[in-house]
Amino acid sequence: MNKVDARYYELLCKLQEADFVLVELTLYLDTHPDDLQAVQQFNQMALHRQTIACEFENEFGPLLQFGHSFSRFPWDWKNSPWPWQV
């Protein structure tokens, strides 16, 4: 595995970890909406995930389509592997 591949997978792993935490916090907050600490944790993790996603997209291209992510020029959405293919 070359350095680019390792970085690609490293960032994808970090995104998956952040998404897991966000899903768990969402489920918890659905039943404990008044837990201020959990809401703060959720917001902190959402910001952390956004930072990782931005870093990934700057290096490897968009994670999402339909205007949820920006594209570099030339249009690079067709480049693979797409995040869900790995």
Q: pTM of the predicted model, to two decimals? A: 0.76
pLDDT surpassing 60 at residue 46: yes
DSSP structure class, residue 81: -
For the chain, the straight-line distance linking the first and the last C-alpha, in angstroms and rounded, comes to: 14
pLDDT (mean) for 18-29:
95
Better-scored residue on pLDDT, 65 or 36: 36
Q: What is the pLDDT of residue 12?
A: 94
Neighbour tally for 11: CB within 10 Å: 19
